[in-house]
Structure 1
């Protein structure tokens, strides 16, 4: 499909300094792509449910993840594991143009089967210097942005991700929180999910887990890498995406996901993903 330029709501002017296109990939269910051209964009701390890969075409930006700050540029690719918090800003760069791929669980399962592995590796580094992979992933993205050639697209998909997993994946050797922490945060997350469309407070979580509010904040930072507020916001963005993909109007999706109104959803959505709910909804329904 043809992408759409990043715009505000119907009453606002087009943002000519920050342009994006977002669409679904053809070679794997659960794969979506974005081509972004930014001059002023700043991404608030956020995370994606998908595995995210980004290749810089022009310029660069500053990436913060795991307490480490790196520069995104054309010499390397960026990889963010599903659920991994990160933030991005322009820094000293006046221009950042990049291509990104988002792989939902269905796309990862498809890759696992195609590559003959029973697990998707965890990536211990967000910044990976591998010129061959940069070229392969860029070729894959371009092929999915141009002429429809299923054989070429599938070949590039397998080659690029096979190389990424084999050369840079950890094999899933991930440091997990201690079991007791996992149990407590799972209880908190279940409480949040059930009440997502309603107001949620630290006091509510404190009473539910019999912990102080300070302990609740530390528990979330320690186990999921985000504050409770940031995590609730992300779950609401996830829910809004599902409602939009199912055909809900933006205002309806906002309320159902727990946002105050459509404007609040649009603001948060653009800060987290660099595109508007309308762009996402159009791509999801194509």
Structure 2
């Protein structure tokens, strides 16, 4: 049974930042007591290690459990959702590894960057400990030790569990009409889209289109459209756009709408995200106090 979190940590608290040692690598630290992640995806690999507690998550058509000793790995664009289930809380540390960070790490490790993972949950306490040690010490230790920690964690993960020939879940679809709908949504995410019009353009009824989205992607058309918009807003903020500007250009009604959806999906606000992407250190949100470095 997962250990209960200390009651003093009540509230949802997160920190998000770019590594000073590896600026292309993003990190997150979270302590959650009631947050639920809706079905969403990331444009990066997500590697998450549980420190205490746990949560339930849904991916690849099945429900699984996050717990200490189990590493979670999600490929780019892989839909997943999560909630605390019966746990009193969930403390975890996560890495977000985009294409540039992946290329850099794989080059240092002598590996090919064309890698993917066939399972989301990896039961390996030693590997979890290695990732937790890396997360806690990456930006605060001797460069030689940092390189060793990277090899013990990412190097071991890629060599032991990585599979060559990564595939985009959406590009791998053999459903031509669903693929066409995704192309239209990706190109027109900033516009108001009507379900009837989108279905008509791909030769389906609205009901058929919704069923195909839910069956193949685990998301409704609206949820996937929101994901395209969130990805666009994140790209814009990485390029220096303010959250208010990113919200409008990405197709959200206003900044508050972006904030609501962004925080639900990614656990941090657009403001936190933008400041961290600009290199302004660790950005936190909390009902009480920000997370301390020792959590």
- Which of 213, 217, 238 is matched with 1:220 structurally? 213
- Which of 231, 234, 239 is matched with 1:246 structurally? 239
1:189 aligns to what? Answer: 182
- Which of 204, 210, 219 is matched with 1:211 structurally? 204
1:21 aligns to what? Answer: 15
1:233 aligns to what? Answer: 226
Instruction: Please give the per-residue CA displacement for 1:233-276, whole angstroms capped at 9, x wherever unaligned.
Output: 11100111122222222222111111111111111111001111
User: Conserved in 1, the CA contact under 8 Å of 2:68 and 2:125?
Assistant: no
1:43 aligns to what? Answer: 37
The DSSP-based 3-state class of the residue aligned with 2:174 is helix
- Superposition RMSD in Å: 2.5
1:118 aligns to what? Answer: 112
The DSSP-based 3-state class of the residue aligned with 2:38 is strand
Cα distance 1:177–1:72, how it changes in 2: closer, same or farther (>3 A)? Answer: closer
Report deviation, 1:42: 1.1
The CA distance in 2 between the partners of 1:152 and 1:129, in whole Å, is 25
Q: TM-score, normalised by structure 2?
A: 0.83
Q: Name whichever of 97-106 and 164-173 sits farther off.
A: 164-173
Q: TM-score, normalised by structure 1?
A: 0.85
The DSSP-based 3-state class of the residue aligned with 1:181 is coil
2:26 aligns to what? Answer: 32
Report deviation, 1:28: 3.2
1:96 aligns to what? Answer: 90
User: Conserved in 2, the CA contact under 8 Å of 1:24 and 1:32?
Assistant: yes
User: Is 1:278 aligned with 2:271?
Assistant: yes
The CA distance in 2 between the partners of 1:266 and 1:113, in whole Å, is 36
2:3 aligns to what? Answer: none
Cα distance 1:222–1:178, how it changes in 2: closer, same or farther (>3 A)? Answer: farther
- Which of 46, 63, 70 is matched with 1:69 structurally? 63
User: Conserved in 2, the CA contact under 8 Å of 1:29 and 1:106?
Assistant: no
Instruction: Please give the per-residue CA displacement for 1:88-124, whole angstroms capped at 9, x wherever unaligned.
Output: 1111111211100000111112233233333433222
